[in-house]
Amino acid sequence: MKLFKKVMLVLLGVLLTLLTIFLVNTFRLGHTQIDPGERVAVEWDRDAMLYRYSQSITYKTISGDDGFARDTTEFVAFLDFIEESYPLVHYRLERILFNEYTPLYYWEGTDSSLDPILLMGHYDVVPIDSTDIDGWEYEPFSGAIADGYVWGRGTLDNKFNVMALLETAEYLLAKDYSPSRSIYLSFGHDEEIGGAEGAMAVSRYFQQQGVNLYYVLDEGGAIVSGAMPVDNPIAMIGTAEKGYLSLELVARTSGGHSSQPPHEMAVTMLSEALLKLYDNQFPARLDGATEDMFDSIGSKLPFLARMMYGNRWMTERFFKSQLVSDHATAPMVRTTVAPTMLRAGVKDNVLPNEARAVVNFRLLPGDSFETIRDHVQNVIDNDNIAIREYGTIQTVPSRVSSVNTSIYRKLQQAIMDQYRDVYVAPYLVSGATDSRHFSNLTDQIFRFAPMKMNADELAIIHGTNERVRVESFENAIDFYVNLIQASTE
């Protein structure tokens, strides 16, 4: 009996010790939030600003995949439109056109010893899904201003950045602002198809000129409500982006008549391969930009989530499994696998000789093309299925930009000054942006646009009824003015 009591006391002591460790780690978890400063209030004609933004949406600057014929007249018309709309930008800043349609503006600073900054956006847009044209509440290229939104293809992705930056530059030039640090403004015309003629050409130009960049700010994150279980919206700054690789799987057999199907058929082999890939996902990792994100808002999480994150020495597997279980958060912690294209057969009673599938992978930083191909080969384990790279867009994952720099703090402060009741957090961008082409010119690349969104609005990027809140665009110039002044004085 005495031995039993001793054992129970020991167990109780262990449990109390563990509980103490859990609680200490939970309440020790901090955050990196800062207080807002003075809000910048720009005196600018907001109605005219909004009208110009609305008009920019009416230009059908569409980029499509291979075989899509670009309507160059729309691109030229858009460039003429911004030249007429922002006369000071075109009169006082140097402009270079790359491959006819990507403009780069140079605003020379007074101190040539300082590395310049690059502010970016792109004005090409994705096509409209013709099968859902009736689902649009307003015509896709109308630029309609209604119900508190500006509607149309490109409002979110990414004429918002382009027009807001042009408005900001025009305003500062009208005020005779003279930056000490030089500023570049780059607006790509082919981001939606990889940026080879636009941003990549600009990057080569910088390299030829020996230009090193102080930092780059491109599209990527936004001020999102409901993205995380915290009280305030989160201004999500992309400090890294995932890589992009598509592989084509080709299953081959002898084919034949459908009345005598053999044991192995191209379609069934391919289907089995796709199911194997689905059932053997890449392992989850909690590091890099995603770890920085949770570190930045750790103490703002609900108690249970805070306790799990603060005690990852014991709970990390469960914590990651919770993230992986949600399709919205799974891309933060693992390389994703998505079959996107299938093709087989020519007639309903003929067994196809081959079946093809394209699988798209978004690579977590730390993975490589080689690790992806090895994983696919090992999982499929079928010599009758050929694996080869597909498409022209292939990008490795980016480096993770540090949040422990004065540049990140200036960006964080500019956000807090303007939006105040938000949290600021780094995060991993799942898509690809033009900013990746400048990774050899700076290790400080950030991806953020000052637009407010909720979870439902996130779903309409590239989708039906794409739109931006009027207040987001009206407030964007205040944010950019604040940031530019903080970065260039």
C-alpha to C-alpha distance for 175 and 94, rounded to whole angstroms: 18
Residue where the block lists tokens 């009169």? 91
Instruction: Report how far residue 90's alpha carbon sits from residue 84's, in angstroms, rounded to the nearest whole number.
Output: 8
| CB of 215 closer than 8 Å to CB of 117 | yes
Tokens of 113: 């010893």
Cα-Cα-Cα-Cα dihedral sign, residues 90, 91, 92, 98: positive
Pairing type for strands 350-351 and 256-257 reads: antiparallel
Q: Which amino acid is at 128?
A: I
CA 52 to the chain's CA centroid: 26
User: 């000129």: which residue's tokens?
Assistant: 209
Q: How far apart are CA 488 and CA 286, in angstroms?
A: 35
With a CB cutoff of 8 Å and minimum separation 6, the contacts of 460 are: 156, 466, 467
Structure tokens belonging to residue 239: 């400090």
DSSP string, 267-296: HHHHHHHHHHHHHSPPPP---HHHHHHHHH
Q: Which residues form the catalytic set?
A: 124, 191
Q: What angle do CA 262, 380, 352 make, to 5 degrees?
A: 35
CA dihedral 107, 108, 109, 111 (to 10 degrees): 160
